[in-house]
Amino acid sequence: MLKESIDLHRLGRLDEAEKGYRRHLAEKPDDADALHLLGLLRHQRGDAAEAAELIARARSLAPAQAGIELSLGTLCFQAGEFEASRAHYERALEMDPNIGPAHSGLGQLAVMRGDREDAERHFRTALRTGEDAQALSGLGSLLLERDDMEGALRHLGRAADLAPNDPMIQLSLGRAFAKRGTTSFAERAFENALRLKPDFHTARQMTFYGCVQEMATFVIYVKHRERAAAEGDDCLRSIYDYIARDEIAHCRFYQGVIKVLLDEDRPGTLADMAHVFANFQMPGVGIVPDYDARILKMREAGIDRSVFIQKVYMPILKYLGVSRHEMLAAQRAAIGERQDARARALVDGAASA
């Protein structure tokens, strides 16, 4: 019965697999493998609480199973409990040093804390144990940062082959193609990312988000460069200068695309720009540990909303040839559409009551 349930689980027939696991556990309630697998299934279905409870119970019954530690590490990572995640990954590797996904997870955690060297070491170790989409993507992204375009595209392309439904891999692949100047391939990858994770509903919105994010990052690095210069650290000032140049080059690429889109469909592009400005968040939100506390530190250093308006919002509009009044009109229209949608929803709800 358990083998049949595992086969159904692998085929994505989750209802049947869950029924099979539960029938098996009714007869063998202390089967750690079944508890572990049912926990993974419940996690797939969005029930994080039951998933954690089932996998923790499996761990209590089989404390030496590296796979269970790996699963707990992944659950903690996705819940934002990064220190607990690292502890589980490290325990899994103590039990079995050849678990590639544990190295991949530690690599992701190293990226988040800014330790590129440790991240690359873990990604490469993971890949020595076998192909792993997340390790390929992580290493490809690091190579992209170093402008190793051939290596980045090789790793990111293979990651996309292994995990075609991962939107973040598609997004990274699109960035690599865009940086190389192969815009048709970049557009296809961005469209795949949007299809898989439509937080921004059009390719124009994704492109403009890239423009705003790169400009904001440029401004932040310029502030860092000024701070380093004020403190007399010429080496650090030069480093920030090079990074800032890289960020503004990325921004100019996106701005060039937006100019073309404005020529093709100005009202639609303005509406998408208004949507992005209204919903903009830096990509670290929900990922970087203690993000809110770090934002407070940045405000203390003089990077706040007024700086965003003066150094990001207004320069972007000026470069694109969009007046402030034109953008405000587009933003007011977007607000009106949202209010109309809410009113229609209330009417529909009342009619069906």
Q: Which residue has the higher pLDDT, 77 or 293?
A: 77
Query: What count of other Cβ atoms lies within 10 Å of the Cβ of residue 90?
Result: 14
Q: What percent of the chain has pLDDT over 90?
A: 27
pLDDT class of 290 with cuts at 50, 70, 90: low
Residues 141 and 242 in one domain: no
Q: Report yes or no: 99 and 92 within 8 Å, Cβ to Cβ.
A: yes
User: Does 211 fall in a domain?
Assistant: yes
Give the pLDDT confidence score for residue 93 in this predicted structure.
Answer: 94
For 301-334, how does the pLDDT look when each residue is reduced to its tens digit (9 = 90+)? Answer: 666 777 888 889 899 999 999 998 888 888 776 6
Q: Span 338-342, mean pLDDT?
A: 41
Distance CA 257, CA 214 (A): 14
**Domain count for the chain:** 2
**DSSP code at position 288:** S
Q: Which residue has the higher pLDDT, 346 or 123?
A: 123
Cβ burial 206-216 (10 Å sphere, 16+ → b, else e) = bbbbbbbbbbb
pLDDT class of 159 with cuts at 50, 70, 90: very high
User: Does 175 fall in a domain?
Assistant: yes
- The torsion angle over the Cα atoms of residues 282, 285, 289 and 291, rounded to 10 degrees, is 70
User: Does 185 fall in a domain?
Assistant: yes
Determine phi and psi for 2, rounding to 5 degrees.
Answer: -65, -40
Give the pLDDT confidence score for residue 352 in this predicted structure.
Answer: 36
> Could you write out the DSSP letters of every residue in 294-340?
HHHHHHHTT-SHHHHIIIIIHHHHHHHT--HHHHHHHHHHHHHHHHH
Rg of the Cα trace of the chain? 24
Residues 282 and 170 in one domain: no
E strands in the chain: none
> Is pLDDT at 110 greater than 70 in this prediction?
yes
* Alpha helices (H) along the chain: 2-10, 14-27, 32-44, 48-61, 66-78, 82-95, 100-112, 116-128, 133-145, 149-162, 167-180, 183-196, 203-230, 234-264, 266-279, 291-300, 305-308, 314-320, 324-352
> Is pLDDT at 344 greater than 80 in this prediction?
no
Distance CA 321, CA 332 (A): 19
Determine phi and psi for 12, rounding to 5 degrees.
Answer: 85, 10
Residues 291 and 181 in one domain: no
Residues 210 and 164 in one domain: no
pLDDT class of 284 with cuts at 50, 70, 90: low
> Is pLDDT at 118 greater than 50 in this prediction?
yes
User: Does 88 fall in a domain?
Assistant: no
For 124-150, how does the pLDDT look when each residue is reduced to its tens digit (9 = 90+)? Answer: 999 999 999 999 999 998 998 888 999
Distance CA 89, CA 42 (A): 21
Considering only CA atoms, which of 337, 344, 341 is closest in space to residue 352? 344
Distance CA 104, CA 101 (A): 5
Identify the domain containing residue 146 by its residue range: 131-198
Q: Which residue has the higher pLDDT, 209 or 332?
A: 209
> Is pLDDT at 239 greater than 70 in this prediction?
yes
- The two structure tokens encoding residue 67: 């796979």
> Is pLDDT at 225 greater than 80 in this prediction?
yes
User: Does 68 fall in a domain?
Assistant: no
- The torsion angle over the Cα atoms of residues 174, 177, 181 and 185, rounded to 10 degrees, is -80
Has this prediction a pTM greater than 0.85?
Answer: no
User: Does 104 fall in a domain?
Assistant: no
Give the pLDDT confidence score for residue 288 in this predicted structure.
Answer: 61
What CATH number is associated with residue 258?
1.10.620.20
Give the pLDDT confidence score for residue 353 in this predicted structure.
Answer: 33
Residues 215 and 334 in one domain: yes
- Please give the distance of CA 258 from its chain centroid, rounded to a whole number: 23
Angle between helices 66-78 and 48-61 (to 10 degrees): 160
Of the three residues 198, 227, 250, the one that is the final residue of a domain is 198
Residues 260 and 344 in one domain: yes
Of the three residues 198, 218, 242, the one that is the final residue of a domain is 198
Residues 287 and 312 in one domain: yes
